[in-house]
Amino acid sequence: MKLTGIAIRNLERRKARMAFLIVGLMVGVATVVALLSLTSAMSADIQHKMENYGANILLTPKSNDLSLSYGGISLGGVSVDTRELNQDDLPKIETIPNSRNISAVAPKVLGAVEVNGAQVLIMGVDEKVEFHLKRWWSIAGEPIGAPDQLVAGSLVAAKLQLHPSDNVEISGETFVVSGILTETGSQDDNLLLAPLATAQRLLGKEGKVSFVEVAALCADCPVDDMVRQISSVLPDVKVNAIQQVVKTRMHALGEFRNFSLAVSLVVLFVGSLVVFVTMMGSVNERCHEIGIFRALGFRKHHVVRLILTEAGIVSIIAGAAGFVFGTMAAKGVLPLLVENAHGVVWNFVLGGGSVLLAILLGALAAIYPALHASKLDPADALRTL
């Protein structure tokens, strides 16, 4: 009979001991798998939310007395800073070394117009980019789909009693209110949104933009480097990174990752200790069995291989079971930690790593008992019979 067969037979005779070994090692592996899966899922969720968070780089005209009211633009009532950016300069943003990290460039122009006898702030936007950038916007009606269509913020619509499909006149031109922006709690509630070219024409600012929002936020995007690069190609523009919320989230995730690592190391150490103690006890109980093996011609390396084979079999089972239970645990815990998360996926690369980790830990924990068993004197072992 081969060593593998002997090892399997021995484990079958000692089912309780084998189960104890498997559970001890499985708990450690399952803990590591669960924490890694949770960290990975939370990182993916944060990255997804950051990518949908909107702009994280803001381009505004340089001005010593600029005060923020909307997106970094100084507003006095409904008047705006007279400084503007040249729209023709914006393609330079795409030439920076990290341009591949840019997901959207959203230029805007601001100005005051008269609607139904009231002064209203109008913002011209690139409608396709803007509505992609502000995915949290909800519109009653339809978004802008033509040059003569507008979307009204909730407060503007309430003040002017505007409804979808209403007509409004601005500077002698008639426009259709295609939709009403659901209340956002931000400055957007006070705006009329119009196509960029339309707003530029109404405000007499053809080829000018008031500010630009750049969405380039992902988990590994070098935002600070991008700010410096944009500043170098647009020296007359003030470039700011808006990252406070993101940095807070990433810092919290980093702390959780460090905590997970510490817990994993402790649990793995305990699991390895369980294997070591159990295997050592098993070797001491099997002195006569090992003596018979030696008397039958087994050499020391055969005894070592036998003990390590038993540990390997247990480790493989524990690693596979730990991966399954760890992933299931992560799936159950994730909704409690992250709302509307994408979920934990079955990562079979992690599964393979779990089995390898279990084999490594089992081998390290069993190596001393195996060496100890190989050094038993056959004569002393046989005297225990």
Measure the CA–CA gap between 294 and 300, rounded to whole angstroms. Answer: 8
- Range(s) of the domain holding residue 84: 56-241
d(C-alpha 14, C-alpha 12), whole Å: 5
Question: Shortest CA distance to 314 belongs to which of 273, 353, 371, 361?
Answer: 361
End of a domain among 206, 241, 276? 241
- Is residue 251 scored above 90 in pLDDT? no
Is residue 32 located within the same domain as residue 169?
no
The average pLDDT across 262-285 equals 78
pLDDT in tens, 3-44: 677 777 777 777 787 888 888 888 888 888 988 888 888 777
**CB-side neighbour CA atoms (13 Å) of 363:** 10
Residues 149 and 264 in one domain: no
Domain stops at, among 211, 241, 271: 241
The pTM assigned to this predicted structure is 0.58
Distance CA 38, CA 337 (A): 9
More confident residue, 321 or 135: 321
- Same domain flag for 220 and 119: yes
Do 213 and 343 belong to one domain?
Answer: no
Q: Do 141 and 186 belong to one domain?
A: yes
> How many other β-carbons are positioned within 10 Å of the β-carbon of residue 276?
20
Contact present, 284 and 354 (Cβ < 8 Å):
no
| Domains in the chain, number | 2
pLDDT band at 92 (very low <50, low <70, confident <90, very high): very high
